[in-house]
Structure 1
Amino acid sequence: MKSAFVVLAALAALTAYYVYLPLPSTVSDPWQLMALDATFRTAQHLCNLIHYMRLSHHLRALNYMIGAIDKLEPPSQGHLKITDTLFDGVEVRVFEPATEQGEALRRSVVYIHGGGWALTSAKSSLYNNLCRTVAESLNAVVVSVDYRLVPDVHFPEQFHDAVRATKYFLRSDVLAKYSVDPDRIAISGDSAGGNLAAAVSQQLSQDENVTNKLKLQALIYPVLQPLDFNTPSYQQNMDMPVLSRFVMVKFWIDYLNGNYDFAYSMLINNHTSLDASQATYFRERMNWTSLLPLTLQKNYKPVIQTAGMPEIVQEMPALLDVRAAPLLAKKAVLQLLPKTYILACENDVLRDDAMMYAKRLEDADVEVTLDYFEDCFHG
């Protein structure tokens, strides 16, 4: 009996050690965050083992686990017509509020889900319920884009899926089919979905063949650049649960079909060293010492290596592709963008991506609303 008590006490101590994390005092719901992170880490460890044993790609295995858990929570339908269909060959889920006779044309939102370009889907209960809430709250038609994922495809295929689906929806005949007002269409997304939403917005704003333009982009803690993993928010939150700096670097490598051997060099900005001439061309467009307020810069210093690994950019040229990194766009492109809403969280490695983009858009005379939550974390 005594030995059993000792074993139980040891297991409890080990569990507490595994789950507990020192967090900033400003974080809301710290135990919820710790539990979420412990669950995610456990799933990642199992999937990495599966990958190591060559049974399946770790991201494919992780997606399978997410799907299995998701089936335990059936998505709520609400008072909406929910339809799975194809827009120019891309899977989408459309949420339509009930139409009343004589009702005016409705507003609409194209939504692109997050997940590191690799996880979850538009059909998960999380995004199903989010889009349902948006559709009901705004009395809006919501088009949730179910783009293809890593490892089945890599950049630029996710971007192409999002562009094709959005461009198809913007056709006048399709908008008429769903009773959508052409002058009240937004695009939105969170995290990697925010990356795709920003990139799609830039692409379509320059496309002269698109007559019905997006009127708003709403970006929720978007991923916007892979060139500097030592912005103040990356340094401050490098070990933050759910989305650490190392996890974000690996998501980028997976998305751009790169080599994991580059990860540790990218963590210290070796891929954008001064001898990587291609990368230095873009440095001013994401110079956080001029784009971030001093309150966020704090005492952090830029990490600029004199000599590094310029071959990383040579082997992963998409690192410098504006379609992957919307923050790198020219000012002339930014000036074409619609009114913008951006949400950023203090305890998030991606905070400064969002803040820098907001500043660049303001400098390009785009109307920007920025919501900054000091007690919130990614996800």
Structure 2
Amino acid sequence: MKICPALVFLLTAVVGYYVYIPLPSTISEPWKLRVVDALLRGVMKLGYLAHDLGLSHHISVLNFAVNHLEVQAPKSSEGVLVNDTAFAGVQVRVFQSSQLKEGELKRAVIYLHGGGWALGSASKWTKTCSELSYDSLCRKMAKHLKGVVVSIDYRLAPEVHFPEQYNDALQASQYFLQPQVLAQYSVDPSRVGISGDSAGGNLAAAVAQQVATDSRMPSKFKIQALIYPVLQALDFNTPSYQQNQDVPILYRPLMARFWLEYLDGDPSFVQPLLANKHTALDIYWTMPGRAKVNWTQLLPPTFRKHYKPVAPAHGLAHVIQKLPALLDPRAAPLLAESDVLAQVPQTYILTCEHDVLRDDGIMYRQRLEEVGVSVTHDHYEDGFHGCMVFAFWPTYSSVGLRTMENYIHWLDNNL
């Protein structure tokens, strides 16, 4: 009988050791983040084991766990009608407010979920289509805006790679922007926006650029709202990458792996990417796109801090040769030309201090403002990557609630 307390103590110590990681003192409610991070790390380790044993791709294991924990079928609620359908062959979930009077036109937002272009939706969309956290967010948006929210369930890696995720997002958006489709959902053609978080913010920015420059489109987006977006893969040593490389839930090596999954790159390229070997000085001069991520010019001093650029003298040119999409604005919207950026709509960008992607969003803000685009930038000193998901049970946190409320408030005032 005496052995039981000892085993309990030992198990508690082991779990505590695994869960506890040092975090910045300014991060919001660190223990909730530690617990979620520990669960994700555990699932990822199982995924890598399954991958090594030849049982399944490690991303598929992680996506299976996420979906079975958080996915729910379409279900209408008070004031919001929800249904799954397809736009141009792409699965979507549509949230429609039932609060307006018959014949009254609504506002609309196309939403693209995050997840590294690899996570965030179920494989059998006819049963379950989107994560509970995104379902709750889109439901809340539709109800508060008294409008329509279209959540696009684009296909994912490892089954598909760039440009298929982008193509799904673009095709579904173009379909929804058709006059007859907008009329079907009673949407005002002049009050449609596009939004997304993380990898979804990447897709939203890329689609917004294409729609803005396509003269054939009868309707354009009025606004774009990007939540801690990932916008470039030429510099994995911006100040935010250096500062937050060990901060969950998006570690620096994990972001590099997500990029390689998205672009169908060799996993051995992780270390060259992290060392900026693909943009070394002997390669830099042949890469005009590299200047568009020059954070020494694009970041304010408060974000540059004491960090120095990482620019090896000699690099690996074959990485860019094998992955030309690294220079494609459809994959990396920060690399778009200025004349393209000048045509995108009014923009909202949300960034978090404790996020490797912080500087991607801030550099994009600077480039947009340089060409005359109106930008609202909300920055959260206690925020971390993915914190808006923490606006809902069971991971509720104050920073999650603040980011969500301020984001929806901006949409309400500007759409």
What's the CA shift for 1:4?
3.5
Name the amino acid aligned to 1:93. R
SS in 1 for 2:110: strand
Q: Is the 8 A contact 2:349 2:378 kept in 1?
A: yes
* Corresponding residue number in structure 2 for 1:48: 48
* Corresponding residue number in structure 2 for 1:19: 19
**Does residue 208 of structure 2 align to residue 194 of structure 1?**
no
What's the CA shift for 1:104?
2.4
Q: Is the 8 A contact 2:74 2:82 kept in 1?
A: no
SS in 2 for 1:239: coil
* Corresponding residue number in structure 2 for 1:29: 29
After superposition, the C-alpha distances for 1:101-160 in whole angstroms (9 at most, x for unaligned) are: 455211100000000000012522111111000000100111110000001100000000
Name the amino acid aligned to 1:294. P
| Whole-Å separation in 2 of the counterparts to 1:278 and 1:118 | 33
* Corresponding residue number in structure 1 for 2:275: 268
SS in 2 for 1:276: helix
Q: Is the 8 A contact 1:75 1:124 kept in 2?
A: no
SS in 2 for 1:84: strand
* Corresponding residue number in structure 1 for 2:401: none
* Corresponding residue number in structure 2 for 1:109: 109
| Whole-Å separation in 1 of the counterparts to 2:286 and 2:132 | 40
What's the CA shift for 1:185?
0.4
Provide closer, same or farther for how the CA distance between residues 75 and 169 of structure 1 changes in structure 2, counting only shifts above 3 A.
Answer: closer
Structure 2 length-normalised TM: 0.89
Structure 2, unpaired ranges of 5+: 122-128, 387-415
Provide closer, same or farther for how the CA distance between residues 48 and 336 of structure 1 changes in structure 2, counting only shifts above 3 A.
Answer: same
Residue among 353, 356, 366 paired with 1:359: 366
* Corresponding residue number in structure 1 for 2:215: 208
* Corresponding residue number in structure 2 for 1:4: 4
**Does residue 76 of structure 2 align to residue 77 of structure 1?**
yes
Q: Identify which range, 73-82 or 134-143, moves more after superposition.
A: 73-82
| Whole-Å separation in 2 of the counterparts to 1:83 and 1:77 | 8
**Does residue 125 of structure 2 align to residue 126 of structure 1?**
no
SS in 2 for 1:61: helix
Q: Is the 8 A contact 1:206 1:336 kept in 2?
A: yes
Q: How does 1:290-369 map to 2 (within 5 A)?
A: 290-369=297-376
Name the amino acid aligned to 2:348. Y
* Corresponding residue number in structure 1 for 2:126: none
| Whole-Å separation in 2 of the counterparts to 1:259 and 1:100 | 51
Provide closer, same or farther for how the CA distance between residues 157 and 235 of structure 1 changes in structure 2, counting only shifts above 3 A.
Answer: same
* Corresponding residue number in structure 2 for 1:377: 384
* Corresponding residue number in structure 2 for 1:182: 189
Q: Is the 8 A contact 1:74 1:125 kept in 2?
A: no
Identity across the alignment (%):
53
Q: Is the 8 A contact 2:296 2:304 kept in 1?
A: yes
Structure 1 length-normalised TM: 0.97
Q: Is the 8 A contact 1:236 1:349 kept in 2?
A: yes
* Corresponding residue number in structure 1 for 2:396: none
Q: Is the 8 A contact 2:119 2:156 kept in 1?
A: yes
Q: Is the 8 A contact 1:195 1:324 kept in 2?
A: yes
What's the CA shift for 1:282?
1.3
* Corresponding residue number in structure 1 for 2:254: 247
Q: Is the 8 A contact 2:99 2:146 kept in 1?
A: no
What's the CA shift for 1:69?
1.3
| Whole-Å separation in 1 of the counterparts to 2:105 and 2:188 | 5
What's the CA shift for 1:205?
0.8
Q: Is the 8 A contact 2:43 2:61 kept in 1?
A: no
What's the CA shift for 1:280?
3.0
What's the CA shift for 1:341?
0.3
Q: Is the 8 A contact 1:344 1:354 kept in 2?
A: yes
Q: What CA RMSD, in Å, does the superposition of the two structures yield over aligned residues?
A: 1.4
SS in 2 for 1:242: coil
Provide closer, same or farther for how the CA distance between residues 129 and 77 of structure 1 changes in structure 2, counting only shifts above 3 A.
Answer: farther
* Corresponding residue number in structure 1 for 2:224: 217
SS in 2 for 1:142: strand
| Whole-Å separation in 1 of the counterparts to 2:237 and 2:287 | 15
SS in 2 for 1:154: coil
Q: Is the 8 A contact 1:109 1:188 kept in 2?
A: yes
| Whole-Å separation in 1 of the counterparts to 2:91 and 2:73 | 20
Q: Is the 8 A contact 1:75 1:129 kept in 2?
A: no
What's the CA shift for 1:236?
0.2
What's the CA shift for 1:8?
2.5
Name the amino acid aligned to 1:77. S
What's the CA shift for 1:66?
1.2
| Whole-Å separation in 2 of the counterparts to 1:133 and 1:106 | 15
SS in 2 for 1:78: coil
Q: Is the 8 A contact 2:235 2:276 kept in 1?
A: yes
| Whole-Å separation in 1 of the counterparts to 2:2 and 2:31 | 31
